């Protein structure tokens, strides 16, 4: 017997909040990327759990899309972090501040 | 009477043309990796954009997507909820064609202008290829009829634009802008997809009309409401609306100026087309007000805050490019009125007016940023003072910039006047006089900082830098793009009838 579907909502909300917390507190660009991955995977938990709950495959297929996009996003992100490191000799996201916010 | 009927998928031809151009540029790049043959690369990209523009224009005239003409084309499967059959993953209607028209025009102007701007840069083929990929993503966003296609096309646009903003790899400003754009973009796409997952959790469907059907009468209002707010947040990032606008001034200032033009006009319009379609089809306000999810109120607050903050911040800037960046945040607030005043009886006029404003904005704002690109090309400087007396050396371009500034401020006799007038009148007639009042006050304020540019160009004594602007150094591509934008901005006032007819008709087919 499957656990109630609300549990998955709590799990995904917890993962999402951990990711958000990481984004708000970490200064290393790579940790930032990992936190974004957590948030994307929180969405995947919802998609797969509710795909089972609703009895259609839409959510499962969408979670495949999300994974592929997460990979693409990391590829572009690592590229940008690489040029950041070459220009600023650092991966601290608060260092580049030649323009004011 | 047509001699032959095109297959249904041909309705997506503009998108296919843009995608094929991008791939063709990659093929050129793989044959000659270090190509600096600027005429061929810029020519290929511009040809593709103009071809897409021509096909879009032909479809609009031929009545593709018009419910009273050839009908709305729905593609790629159907969705079913409780036995009701809904459309597929993509749809081609007047709204998608109207916005594809904006995207193709802006892309054409940007690729023509990049011909001069990229002189001496490496990786030019990749640059044009990314621009065309981003344009493909935008035109797919305009056609997306399911949250799945919305998200995938949204990311296609986002990923291409991160790379484009950070294109000047050895320029610290460009890298910093790319980093900030990427960080905020990655965060907001995670927020967006989590919102979609919550909406799916409640409704069990991703097709927009099916979502609306399944949402009616649901008990999980809290989860659904949170999902709607998170989806709104994701869209707010793409349109540079206030809580997610922090990237905009940085990205526009640091990016190569043609890319700033591209992002602030076309990418913003792409965000709005998604907002218009998702919030009218998937989250219709009648159903959601009954449920107690009042997203209209949230949009109204965002519109007022965005207009005010954007315009006040623009008024305090010392650099022209940054002023334009904040002014584009302010214009996102004006376009949001299209959704914020939707509960009135004239909702199709208001929504249509939002679209009209984005059409006009696509030309005038692109032109203004391309003028900045021209000034950067001459290496004159970035502040208002550096622009002093430019009109003595470059009167034609300065005249065009004057047109853009007054049109952005909403003065007659330019296109910006007509769209703002219809937008504010629509809001007043819908009973939201306070939205129109805030908009009018902000427009008056915006006249102050737009006319500062005009004053610097025409009435101040030339600075030393301006003397460097040689008559011999006249970039043909930048001039052509700026003049095209200026002519379009002026011509849109007499030609406003067809634009407004199309926009109102597109809006009425979205509304019940």
| Residue B338 backbone dihedrals phi, psi, to 5 degrees | -55, -35
B294-340 confidence digits (pLDDT tens): 888 999 999 999 999 999 999 998 889 999 999 999 999 999 998 88
The alpha carbon of residue A2 is apart from the nearest alpha carbon of chain B, in Å, by 17
Mutate to test the interface with B, among A22, A80, A84, A93 (most CBs of B within 10 A): A80
Asked if residue A81 belongs to a domain, the reply is yes
Confidence tier at B291 by pLDDT (50, 70, 90): confident
Mean of the pLDDT values across residues B66-81? 72
Mean pLDDT of chain B: 88
Asked if residue A100 belongs to a domain, the reply is no
Asked if residue A47 belongs to a domain, the reply is yes
In whole angstroms, give the CA distance from residue B182 to residue B441: 34
B254 has a chain A CB within 8 A of its CB: yes
Instruction: List chain A residues with CB under 8 Å of B179.
Output: 29, 80-81, 84, 93, 96
The alpha carbon of residue B330 is apart from the nearest alpha carbon of chain A, in Å, by 17
Q: Are B415 and B497 in contact (CB under 8 A)?
A: no
pLDDT over threshold 70, residue B146: yes
Asked if residue A93 belongs to a domain, the reply is no
The alpha carbon of residue A4 is apart from the nearest alpha carbon of chain B, in Å, by 13
Q: CB under 8 Å to B112, separation ≥6 — which residues? A: B42, B46, B477, B478, B480, B481, B484
Q: Which of B52-56, B137-141, B375-379 has the lowest mean pLDDT?
A: B375-379
The residues that bridge with B79 in the sheet, in sequence order, are B86
Q: At what angle do helices B268-277 and B124-143 cross, to 10 degrees?
A: 20
> 10 Å Cβ neighbour count for B297?
12
Instruction: List chain B residues with CB under 8 Å of A86.
Output: 169
The alpha carbon of residue B294 is apart from the nearest alpha carbon of chain A, in Å, by 23
In whole angstroms, give the CA distance from residue A55 to residue A70: 25
The alpha carbon of residue B79 is apart from the nearest alpha carbon of chain A, in Å, by 10
A39 has a chain B CB within 8 A of its CB: yes
Q: CB under 8 Å to A68, separation ≥6 — which residues? A: none
Residue-level pLDDT at A74 = 93
- The CB-side HSE value for B503 (13 A sphere, CA atoms) comes to 27
Residue-level pLDDT at A56 = 87
Size of interface A-B (CB pairs under 8 A): 125
Asked if residue A95 belongs to a domain, the reply is no
CATH number at residue A26: 1.10.287.3510
Instruction: List chain A residues with CB under 8 Å of B151.
Output: 62, 65-66, 69
| Residue A11 backbone dihedrals phi, psi, to 5 degrees | -60, -50
Asked if residue A67 belongs to a domain, the reply is yes
In whole angstroms, give the CA distance from residue B87 to residue B11: 15
B432-483 confidence digits (pLDDT tens): 889 999 999 999 999 999 999 999 888 888 776 666 666 557 788 899 999 9
Asked if residue A83 belongs to a domain, the reply is yes
More confident residue, B110 or B391: B110
Confidence tier at B104 by pLDDT (50, 70, 90): very high
A79 has a chain B CB within 8 A of its CB: yes
Q: Are B435 and B300 in contact (CB under 8 A)?
A: yes
Residue-level pLDDT at B140 = 93
Range of the domain at A71: 5-88
Longest dimension (CA), chain B: 73
Asked if residue A56 belongs to a domain, the reply is yes
Q: Which of B11-15, B65-69, B343-347, B450-454 has the lowest mean pLDDT?
A: B65-69
B7-26 confidence digits (pLDDT tens): 778 888 899 999 999 999 99
Per-residue DSSP letter, B468? G
Nearest by CB: A65 against B148, B166, B182: B148
Q: What pairing do the DSSP bridges indicate for beta strands B79-81 and B73-75?
A: unpaired
Query: What is the DSSP track for A12-48?
Result: HHHHHHHHHHHHHH--BHHHHHHHHHHHHHHHHHHHH
pLDDT over threshold 60, residue A100: no
Residue-level pLDDT at A6 = 86
Residue-level pLDDT at B2 = 53
In whole angstroms, give the CA distance from residue B379 to residue A12: 51
Sign of the Cα pseudo-torsion (B195, B200, B203, B207, in order) = positive
A32-54 confidence digits (pLDDT tens): 999 999 999 999 999 999 998 88
Number of domains in chain A: 1
Sign of the Cα pseudo-torsion (A34, A36, A41, A42, in order) = positive
Q: Are B423 and B400 in contact (CB under 8 A)?
A: no
Residue-level pLDDT at A101 = 46
pLDDT over threshold 70, residue B131: yes
C-beta atoms of A99 and B200 within 8 A: no
In whole angstroms, give the CA distance from residue B309 to residue A15: 33
In whole angstroms, give the CA distance from residue B57 to residue B46: 16
pLDDT over threshold 90, residue B392: no
Q: Is the pTM of this model over 0.90?
A: yes
Instruction: List chain A residues with CB under 8 Å of B194.
Output: 12, 16, 39, 42-43, 46
Q: CB under 8 Å to A55, separation ≥6 — which residues? A: none
């Amino acid at each position: 017997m499957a656990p109630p579907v609300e549990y998955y909502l709590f799990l995904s909300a917890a993962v999402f909040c951990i990711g958000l917390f990481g984004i708000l507190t970490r200064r290393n660009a790579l940790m930032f990327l990992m936190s974004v991955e957590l948030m994307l995977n929180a969405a995947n938990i919802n998609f797969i759990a509710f795909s089972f709950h609703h009895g259609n495959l839409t959510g499962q297929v969408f979670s495949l899309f999300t994974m592929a996009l997460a990979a693409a996003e990391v590829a572009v992100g690592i590229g940008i972090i690489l040029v950041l490191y070459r220009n600023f000799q650092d991966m601290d996201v608060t260092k580049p501040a030649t323009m004011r916010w | 009477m047509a001699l032959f009927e095109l297959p249904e998928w041909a309705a997506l031809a503009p998108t296919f043309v843009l995608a094929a151009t991008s791939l063709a540029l990659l093929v050129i790049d793989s044959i000659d990796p270090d190509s600096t043959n600027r005429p061929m690369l810029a020519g290929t990209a511009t040809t593709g954009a103009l071809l897409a523009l021509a096909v879009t224009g032909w479809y609009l005239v031929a009545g593709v997507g018009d419910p009273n003409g050839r009908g709305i084309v729905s593609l790629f499967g159907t969705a079913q909820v409780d036995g009701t059959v809904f459309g597929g993953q993509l749809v081609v209607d007047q709204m998608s064609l109207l916005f594809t028209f904006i995207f193709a025009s802006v892309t054409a102007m940007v690729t023509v202008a990049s011909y001069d701007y990229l002189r001496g840069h490496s990786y030019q083929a990749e640059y044009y290829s990314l621009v065309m990929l981003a344009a493909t993503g935008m035109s797919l966003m305009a056609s997306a009829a399911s949250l799945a296609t919305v998200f995938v096309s949204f990311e296609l646009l986002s990923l291409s634009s991160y790379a484009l903003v950070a294109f000047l790899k050895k320029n610290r400003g460009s890298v910093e802008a790319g980093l900030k754009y990427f960080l905020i973009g990655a965060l907001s796409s995670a927020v967006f997809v989590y919102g979609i997952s919550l909406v799916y959790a409640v409704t069990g469907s991703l097709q927009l009309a099916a979502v609306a059907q399944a949402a009616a009468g649901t008990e999980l209002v809290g989860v659904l409401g949170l999902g709607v707010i998170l989806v709104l947040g994701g869209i707010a990032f793409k349109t540079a609306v206030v809580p997610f606008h922090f990237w905009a001034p940085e990205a526009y200032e640091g990016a190569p100026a043609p890319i700033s033009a591209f992002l602030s006009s076309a990418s913003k319009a792409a965000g709005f087309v998604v907002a218009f379609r998702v919030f009218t089809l998937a989250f219709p306000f009648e159903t959601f007000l009954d449920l107690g999810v009042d997203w209209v109120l949230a949009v109204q607050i965002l519109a007022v805050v965005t207009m005010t903050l954007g315009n006040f911040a623009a008024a305090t800037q010392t650099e022209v490019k940054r002023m334009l960046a904040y002014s584009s945040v302010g214009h996102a607030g004006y376009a949001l009125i299209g959704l914020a005043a939707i509960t009135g009886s004239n909702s199709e006029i208001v929504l249509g007016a939002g679209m009209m404003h984005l059409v006009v904005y696509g030309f005038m704002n692109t032109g203004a940023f391309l003028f900045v690109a021209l000034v950067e090309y001459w290496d004159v400087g970035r502040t208002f003072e550096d622009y002093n007396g430019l009109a003595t050396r470059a009167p034609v371009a300065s005249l065009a910039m004057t047109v853009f500034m007054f049109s952005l401020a909403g003065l007659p006799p330019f296109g910006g006047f007509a769209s703002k007038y219809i937008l504010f009148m629509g809001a007043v007639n819908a009973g939201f006089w306070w939205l129109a009042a805030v908009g009018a006050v902000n427009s008056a304020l915006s006249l102050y900082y737009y006319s500062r540019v005009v004053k610097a160009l025409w009435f101040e004594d030339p600075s030393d830098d301006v003397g460097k602007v040689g008559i011999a150094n006249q970039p043909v591509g930048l001039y052509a793009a700026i003049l095209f934008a200026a002519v379009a901005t002026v011509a849109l006032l007499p030609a406003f009838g067809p634009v407004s007819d199309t926009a109102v008709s597109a809006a009425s087919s979205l509304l019940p």
